Amino acid sequence: MSQPAVIDHFEAPTDEPEYKKINYLNVDRGVRSWLLTLDHKRIGVMYMASVLLFFLVGGIFAMLVRLELTTPEPTLISANTYNRAFTLHGVIMIFLFMIPAIPGIFGNFFIPLMVGAKDVAFPRLNLLSLYVFWAGAILAVSAMATGGLDTGWTFYAPYSTTTPATTFPALLGVFILGFSSILTGLNFIVTVHSLRAPGITWMRLPLFVWALYATSIIQVLATPVVGLAALLVGIERVGGFGLFDPGRGGDPILFQHLFWFYSHPAVYIMVLPGMGVISEVIAAMSRKNVFGYKMVAYSSLGIAFVGFFAWGHHMFVTGQSVLDNGAFAVISMLIGVFTAIKVFNWIGTLYKGSIAVKTPLLYACGFLFFIVFGGMTGIAVATVSLDVHWHDTYFVVAHFHFIMVGGVIMAFLAGLHYWFPKMFGKMYHEGWGMTAAAFIILGFNATFIPQFLLGNAGMPRRYYMYPERFTALNVASTAGSSLLAFGFVIILIYLIFALVRGKVAGSNPWGSRGYEWETSSPPIKENFEVTPVITRDPHSYQNPGEEVEHVVV
Amino acid sequence: MSSSSAVAGHGDDHGEHNSHLAHHFETIEQQDHAIRLGMWLFLATEVLLFAGIFVGYAVYRHIYHETFH
């Protein structure tokens, strides 16, 4: 029997980059070997392909909405098509991109690697979650495309129960997608509890795993509630029970409670994994373990817990009591406290770190910017007296795009660039990476800062036409979004180029000490040659008597 | 001595030759733990799935107290 590999020190990357001839990508060949695989890494890659496809579709609808809004009058599409376009944009981006993106791709790929396991706890369930995702996605998208869903992604009753558009299949699609998310979350929780390699105690878990663990708790506990809320709307339409119809004694506000009980925590399903990615990237790029590791780990759980009790801040103007409003406002602000703990600790990590300015770090800095300014405007809209004015304006649109979309996209791209060599064994072009990062971060600001101003000036969200005086800011926002789109086109081109003809990256091009880099890149099918025994903290860069090295690539 | 051989025998019986033990688990105990935890979590999600119906029932029973009697 072979000795377990004890990992207590760090080996500097070798000069000759090595590409394992047999790895998880080519150990079995053929479409069938991919579709029936139980390998968490392949499932992660398939999630990546599907999620990126939906990101492209959602992005096209975003551009359509922005183009329509360049003039106050009808521009390109009819009012009805406009309603459908922003609904498609919202539903696709939230349910098919932001929720599955980081857990589905990086969670699946890296949680087993980071806990030193061969696979997730339930590999078949993992594959099932991908198929359930595909089924839900196909149903939801085809139903929206043919049925013309125009409710927005929130499906608010009573409009969703009375609109002439077909809503039931789309709602069923969302219900099914929820199960995919639940299965993924369940799998991760059990994996973290039962499959940690010898030596990986809870306080040695990488912060990405901590963040995904907190996310999984939300996925498991909150997703079923929105599943049922969506189903109730569908049942109401088909059966006509009048559950949400005030004309027959129903309560449309009940729908909002059920909906936001999930959909507010869903914001943390989207952004918490992003925070995990940023912890990893900042630690690797500044050659230090994250400052205040324990606090960053616990604050993930704090956000997950408090997030369950903040949903009422979406409903300040529904006529709920002043006491409720005040309580929800204060609880919402607590989220800001936990987020600030993380932000200060990340900055504390960068401080006096040996910083490598690489593409992942640029996105991490972009993340910090969007989280801070998105978070500050979040505190502003959590203040009841202010929110009454900002409610349903572009200020709210800009706020959640900053914190949620900005956060997820920055973290996703940071993770994509940081882990690209790990996943595919190839290196992207650093110069193009930085160029695209500049386009995306500047473009994102140029898109949404005008929307803050628009909302503050009183432009309501989801409107098709608007007064003349809002034209300039709307044009500015659309111009910004084209910069953003251009940035994504650059990334698409250089990443495809890197996949096909990129330089071989070697096992650990960043010299990172995250546990996932302790195996070859791309990893072999079993992840590690032998089960690793970890005797050090994640991202502990200083061996006794050794100088800290800089990133080599 | 006897305890160490018992552990080794245990590994042989339930480990490499046990068809119920999936390849990514080290021991059958670890696998049992994972399966139990997974089942409890699944039950938790089911409770919350149907919670919406119970909440709806509770709300309407509260609002229309008379109708329910």
Q: What DSSP string describes A326-346?
A: HHHHHHHHHHHHHHHHHHHHH
* A176 Cβ contact list (under 8 Å, min separation 6): A132, A135, A136, A139, A140
Q: Number of Cβ pairs closer than 8 Å across A and B?
A: 78
Contact A17, A553 (CB under 8 A): no
Contact A433, A494 (CB under 8 A): yes
- Residue ranges in chain A modelled with pLDDT below 50: 1-4, 551-553
* Contacts of A39-42 spanning 24+ positions with Cβ under 8 A: A39/A119, A39/A123, A39/A525, A40/A108, A40/A109, A40/A111, A40/A112, A40/A119, A40/A120, A40/A123, A40/A126, A41/A108, A41/A109, A41/A423, A41/A522, A41/A523, A41/A525, A41/A527
CB contact under 8 A, A224 and B49: yes
Give the distance from residue B17's alpha carbon to the nearest chain A alpha carbon, in angstroms. 16
CB contact under 8 A, A195 and B34: yes
Which pLDDT belongs to residue A550? 54
Query: What letter would DSSP give residue A403?
Result: I
B4 pLDDT above the threshold of 90: no
Smallest Cβ–Cβ distance between B49 and the set A187, A228, A243 belongs to A228
* C-alpha distances out from residue A545 to A36, A511, A548, A549, Å: 49, 18, 10, 12
Which pLDDT belongs to residue A234? 85
* A15 Cβ contact list (under 8 Å, min separation 6): none
- Torsion angle defined by CA atoms of residues A133, A134, A135 and A141, in that order, rounded to the nearest 10 degrees: 100
**Six-digit token string for A349:** 């990590």
The per-residue pLDDT for range A137-183, each reduced to its tens digit, is: 999 999 999 988 999 999 998 888 888 888 889 999 999 999 999 99
CB contact under 8 A, A223 and B23: no
Which pLDDT belongs to residue A548? 54
Give the distance from residue B32's alpha carbon to the nearest chain A alpha carbon, in angstroms. 10
The per-residue pLDDT for range A479-533, each reduced to its tens digit, is: 999 999 999 999 999 999 999 999 998 888 998 999 999 898 899 999 998 888 8
Which residues from B are below 8 Å from A260, CB to CB?
none
Which CATH code, of 1.20.210.10, 1.10.287.3510, 3.90.1170.40, 1.10.10.10, is assigned to A23-534?
1.20.210.10
Which residues from B are below 8 Å from A220, CB to CB?
41, 44-45
CB contact under 8 A, A228 and B26: no
Contact A230, A157 (CB under 8 A): no
Residue in this structure with the two tokens 């369950």, named with its chain if needed: A308
Identity of residue A111: I
Rounded to 5 degrees, φ, ψ at B43 are: -65, -40
CB contact under 8 A, A249 and B44: no
SS3 track for A345-390: HHHHHHCCCCCCCCHHHHHHHHHHHHHHHHHHHHHHHHCHHHHHHH
Query: What letter would DSSP give residue A158?
Result: T
Contact A147, A184 (CB under 8 A): no
Identity of residue A187: N
Which residues from A are below 8 Å from B41, CB to CB?
186, 189-190, 220
d(CA B24, CA A38): 11
**Residue A248 burial class via C-beta count within 10 angstroms: exposed 0-12, middle 13-18, buried 19 and up:** exposed
Nearest CA in chain A to B37: A190
Which residues from B are below 8 Å from A227, CB to CB?
49
**Cis amide bond preceding A522, omega within 30:** yes
Smallest Cβ–Cβ distance between B52 and the set A123, A194, A229 belongs to A229
Query: What letter would DSSP give residue A198?
Result: T
d(CA B49, CA B31): 27
Identity of residue A26: N
CB contact under 8 A, B48 and A249: no
Contact A21, A504 (CB under 8 A): no
Smallest Cβ–Cβ distance between A194 and the set B23, B34, B49 belongs to B34
Which pLDDT belongs to residue A40? 96
Which pLDDT belongs to residue A544? 60
Which residues from A are below 8 Å from B28, CB to CB?
none
Q: Which of A24, A127, A190, A217 to mutate to test the interface with B (most CBs of B within 10 A)?
A: A190
Give the distance from residue A190's alpha carbon to the nearest chain B alpha carbon, in angstroms. 6
Which residues from A are below 8 Å from B51, CB to CB?
224-225, 228
Which residues from A are below 8 Å from B22, CB to CB?
123
Smallest Cβ–Cβ distance between B56 and the set A182, A227, A254 belongs to A254
Domain boundary assignment for chain A: 23-534
Which residues from B are below 8 Å from A187, CB to CB?
38
Which residues from B are below 8 Å from A225, CB to CB?
48-49, 51-52
